């Protein structure tokens, strides 16, 4: 059950960040994350830290995906199919025989019980506030800004 500070846009952005990190650096999805409405963080096991240029490339790629206005959906698959096709290491032992998969178009799919936006256009812009590397762990901290371009306003989410 999501807590009072739960933010579906931030949670969906986490999915996109995880997919971008894995596609760019082959590090898998984050092994630890803390998602809140004002700021969030994800930890990745990776061989080296990222340069500022690499961090900005990750940020740019996440924003490009968001701007594509991709539908976010779900499908239910058997536990056996989920184990074959997706990373299920974070699923609890009592997750059951049917597993919910969250899809972001053809870009990303993973097991998840959380709430999500229905389209990436609802996320706003993504900003990495810091990235640091320590003993094989890259921590990325990020936030979202809700954009209202027709009014020229950017409001932190």
Position 94 scores a pLDDT of 86
Cα–Cα distance, 140 to 107 (Å, whole number): 21
Low-confidence ranges of the chain (pLDDT < 70): 1-5, 146-157
Position 89 scores a pLDDT of 84
Q: What is the dotted CATH code of the domain comprising 8-156? A: 3.30.980.10
pTM over the 0.85 mark: yes
In sequence order, the 6+-apart residues with CB closer than 8 A to the CB of 76 are 98, 99, 100, 101
Other CB atoms within 10 Å distance of the CB of residue 127: 15
| pLDDT digits 0-9 by tens, 57-102 | 999 999 999 999 999 999 999 999 999 999 888 888 888 999 999 9
Helix 8-25 with 52-67: angle, nearest 10 deg: 120
Cα–Cα distance, 66 to 144 (Å, whole number): 11
Position 95 scores a pLDDT of 87
Cα–Cα distance, 111 to 75 (Å, whole number): 9
């Amino acid at each position: 059950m999501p807590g009072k500070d739960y933010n579906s846009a931030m949670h969906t952005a986490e999915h996109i960040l995880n997919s971008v990190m894995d596609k760019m650096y082959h590090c898998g999805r984050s092994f630890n994350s803390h998602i809140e409405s004002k700021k969030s963080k994800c930890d990745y096991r990776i061989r080296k830290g990222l340069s500022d240029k690499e961090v900005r490339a990750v940020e740019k790629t996440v924003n490009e995906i968001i701007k594509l206005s991709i539908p976010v959906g779900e499908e239910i698959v058997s536990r056996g199919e989920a184990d074959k096709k997706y990373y299920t290491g974070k699923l609890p032992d009592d997750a059951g025989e049917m597993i919910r998969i969250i899809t972001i178009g053809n870009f990303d799919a993973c097991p998840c019980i959380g709430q999500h936006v229905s389209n990436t256009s609802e996320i706003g812009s993504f900003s990495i506030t810091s990235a640091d590397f320590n003993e094989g762990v890259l921590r990325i901290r990020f936030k979202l800004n809700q954009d209202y371009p027709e009014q020229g306003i950017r409001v932190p989410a």
